[in-house]
Amino acid sequence: MTELLSLLPPMPALFGQLIVGLINGSFYALLSLGLALIFGLLNVVNFAHGAQYMLGALTAYLLLTHFNISYWYALAIAPLVVGVSGFIIERLFLRHLYKLDHLYGMLLTFGITLVIEGIVRNIYGASGNSYRAPAALSGAWNVGFMMLPHYRAWVIAASLVICISTWLLIEKTKIGSYVRAATENSSLTRAFGINVPLILMLTYSFGVGLAGFAGVMAAPLYQVNASMGSELIIVVFAVVVIGGMGSILGAILSGFALGLLEGLTKVFYPEASTTVVFVAMVIVLLTRPNGLFGTLVKHKTDDSTTVKSINNKFDSSPITYLLIVLICVAAPFFIYPPFLMKVLCFALLACSFNLLLGYGGMLSFGHAAFYGGGSYMAAVAAKTLGLDPFTSVVLGGLSAAAVGVAFGYISIKRQGIYFSMITLALAQMFYFFIVQSAFSGNDEGIQSVPRGKLLGLDLSDQLNMYYFVLAFFLVCFFAINTIIRSPFGFALKSIRDNESRALSLGYSTDTYKLMAFVLSALFAGIAGALDALTFQLASLTNVHWTMSGHAILMTIIGGVSTMVGPLIGAIVVAALENYLAHLGTWVYVVQGAIFMFCVLAFRKGIVGEISDSINRRKS
């Protein structure tokens, strides 16, 4: 017994981490509460919540710095400012997407996040700014076994009061009954004379106001900077999914519980503290598909959804494919080859993602794991194992496919937003695995990856390397095209359009979806492997979740469920990064604006709109 007790950490350390866990849980609960409110009523997965949390902290900092307005006044002013920004976002953008699938709200708010964070980063820089805690909350209590700082106790208490008050407001008041009625049946609620659009607007403003309030409370604890909410929001999404999308009680309880779990993990197994929330999310979704307190999420669709086949001569003509080959072969004599290789790597990533979303109807937020995993495997094979470039790329693709088998087996039984979130959680777990692995080189990555020689050709020559990348791209591009036009591809599209009907016709839908998932991972891994050899570097950028955002952006811009669209989208995104590099981080603002424009007004993408134009002329 004595030996067992000796293994336990000292009591001050244990209780100290529990307090830290409660503080983190306080922010998780407040942020997930706002997300749950917005999703429950508006059917929008608000990816901009982290940016709005940052805006709350930034507003408090600016009020103190420029107007000498204290923390206590900022607690009231900053949430109002963020709430007004939410009012503008809802009026201008979100209300056009309520009848669409969750995909569109998520993508639009992702674009809004890029715009907000890009603007703040350019004006105030990337380094953090400190914000002093109010003098009334300085000092600490000696509770015997530890020192409890006054401000940390205030954060926990204030969060509990706000969360409980919000729950009582929604569940026990007349206003809350209007909100619940508008959620369950907006048409009938409107028939009783209730202004449903006003309720929607106020609900979104209130939800983001909660994020702003959390940002003010976080300002004295953390550095106020543009990206302070970008990583936190991923954890908060996991909290919301665990509690159940749209469940207010689930958001509150899960937030505090997961904060405590994270704190305990830091005591007993610190290496797992960054992934424990995502592990919990995977376990919960495997046992309770709709979260602990959630109900079945119905997916809203209409005729404007992008996830439909677009068949036309422009996209499927052999002449189009021949032109692609000829242009790619001639391009390096007119355009800088490294830029073209980046385009081809991005295009293959987008094509792999399009195979899953456009023809399988599955929105994955985990493709960064396959792209980055393929790049790291190829780098290890080429640099450490001394293998030739062809074998290194193939191993990169096969390793990504192996990861895809594991990810797909876990995730394909989930649908809609739960599928997206579980793939995101798995990708984050993979990201932290890479970060903590000795072979990855941590922040430095694996550098000086040798290109080697193939069939006597020295791939250190830019032109030789370009044609090596082009050969892989063309083989994979036509392989994906063949898969889509095969009986397997037609079965996959039937499952996408009506899974229940496909089941009734005898198709093993889970098998088809798993195969599509693994094939998509394979091609994404090959793209990542080519990236590592091209730029002689495998870095954390390739495995970060923002790379999944790149895949989505390229596919949406070019046109979902088109063959040529992802290639066009890759050209646009790579050109933005390359030719607007002199703008610095303003590039993110441009990317976010394009993202928003495509979701709102250009939903079928470049190729989709061209296809529609051709079809209209014919008819």
Strand partners, 447: 537
Query: In whole angstroms, what is the distance from residue 573 CA to residue 6 CA?
Result: 56
Q: 77, 70, 36: which is closest to 55 by C-alpha?
A: 77
Check residue 144 and give its pLDDT.
66
232 has a pLDDT exceeding 90: no
Residue 443: pLDDT band with limits 50, 70, 90: confident
Residue 295: pLDDT band with limits 50, 70, 90: low
Query: In whole angstroms, what is the distance from residue 530 CA to residue 543 CA?
Result: 14
Residue 502: pLDDT band with limits 50, 70, 90: confident
**What is the pLDDT averaged over residues 469-474?**
94
Check residue 98 and give its pLDDT.
76
Check residue 6 and give its pLDDT.
46
Query: In whole angstroms, what is the distance from residue 243 CA to residue 249 CA?
Result: 8
Query: In whole angstroms, what is the distance from residue 381 CA to residue 393 CA?
Result: 9
Residue 16: pLDDT band with limits 50, 70, 90: confident
Candidate CATH numbers 2.60.120, 1.10.3470, 2.60.40, 1.20.140; the one for domain 21-130+138-287: 1.10.3470
Contact 35, 207 (CB under 8 A): yes
Which amino acid type is present at position 240?
Answer: V
Domain boundaries, the chain: 21-130+138-287, 337-542
The CA angle 451-457-460, to the nearest 5 degrees, is 35
Query: In whole angstroms, what is the distance from residue 536 CA to residue 448 CA?
Result: 5
- pLDDT tens digit string along 532-569? 999 999 998 899 888 998 898 888 888 888 888 899 99
Which amino acid type is present at position 365?
Answer: F
Q: Which two tokens stand for residue 70?
A: 């204290």
612 has a pLDDT exceeding 80: no
Which amino acid type is present at position 96?
Answer: H
- pLDDT tens digit string along 168-200? 888 888 887 877 777 667 777 777 777 777 888
The model's pTM: 0.84
* Residues 6 or more apart in contact with residue 185 via CB below 8 angstroms: none
Q: Quote the crossing angle between the two packed helices 276-287 and 248-268, to the nearest 10°.
A: 130
CA 419 to chain centre: 12
Check residue 305 and give its pLDDT.
41
Average pLDDT of the residues of the chain: 85
Residue 216: pLDDT band with limits 50, 70, 90: very high
* Residues 6 or more apart in contact with residue 396 via CB below 8 angstroms: 373, 374, 375, 377, 378, 381, 525, 526, 528, 529, 532
Q: Which two tokens stand for residue 108?
A: 């639009």
Q: Give the total residue count for the chain.
A: 619
Q: 412, 341, 409, 404: which is closest to 377 by C-alpha?
A: 404
Check residue 349 and give its pLDDT.
95
Which position has the token pair 């820089």?
125
Contact 146, 140 (CB under 8 A): no
**What is the pLDDT averaged over residues 456-465?**
88
